[in-house]
Amino acid sequence: MKARPVKLAMVLAPLWLSACVSVGLGGDVPLQAQYRLHDTAAPAARLAAPLVAALLIQAQPSDAAADSVSITYSPRTNEFAQYQFASWTERPLRQVPRLLQQRLEARGVAGAVGLLGDPLNADWLLTVGIDTLHHDVSVLPGQGRLALTVELFDRRNRVRIARRQFEVVVPAASANAAAAAAAMSAALTQVFDHLVPWLEAELQRVEVKAPT
């Protein structure tokens, strides 16, 4: 008889978590909501001149959560689940490279910035892999986690110039899908804030070293 409260607690724990980590729309019948992962930064000041003539961006194989429209949360380390009534408008694996393209175009890093497959002849390739993208709810209300690994390649010489991982954690305002999506978008913005200056520095370095 003494074991019953323990069993009951084990049953109620996931129900409590699902109640706390919710789409957050209220009402008796949950509604399906979609959220767009986006870059929240204000327009960047343009460089005086492009650093290179053209740059291509290529998405790399990523964390499974990034190749799905499901919004993922993690109650414990190495344990993941998806919000039942909320999703991304587009797979982050497709959205993130496009958002980075827009950021680099606004900054004027290259004369032309395209995605691999575009009819663009470019000497430089930037690959982007999403290592982590989820709502960490191990401690409520949780935080949005995002990690990108980027690599810069010289396509003329077929060599990798630089590689770096960028990881950012942003507190979520509450334990629901809307707040999770907002936190992950803020994390993406901060990653871009670090990534773009790094890319500029690497391009300047290799261009200065290039023979005339």
Write out pLDDT tens, residues 69-87. 999 999 999 999 999 999 9
Query: What is the per-residue pLDDT for 21?
Result: 56
Give strand pairing partners of 54: 112
pLDDT of 24 above 90? no
pLDDT of 25 above 90? no
Cβ atoms within 10 Å of 202's Cβ, excluding its own: 19
Q: Which of 132, 157, 155 is nearest to 145 (CA)?
A: 132
Q: Please, where are the H alpha helices in the chain? A: 4-20, 92-107, 177-209
- Which residues, 6+ apart, have CB-to-CB distance to 155 below 8 Å? 56, 122, 123, 124, 125
pTM of this prediction? 0.85
Span 165-185, average pLDDT: 98
Q: What is the pLDDT of residues 37-51, one digit of tens each?
A: 999 999 889 999 999
Kindly state the helix (H) or strand (E) to which residue 56 belongs, with its residue range: strand 52-59
Mean pLDDT of the chain: 88
> Taking the domains of the chain in order of start, what are their residue ranges?
49-209
pLDDT exceeding 70 applies to what percent of the chain?
A: 83
pLDDT of 122 above 50? yes
The angle formed by the CA atoms of residues 29, 31 and 34, to the nearest 5 degrees, is: 165
Contact 137, 74 (CB under 8 A): yes
Q: Which of 130, 147, 137 is nearest to 180 (CA)?
A: 137
The CATH number that domain 49-209 falls under is 3.40.50.10610
Q: What Rg do the C-alpha atoms of the chain give, in angstroms?
A: 21
The amino acid sitting at 156 is R
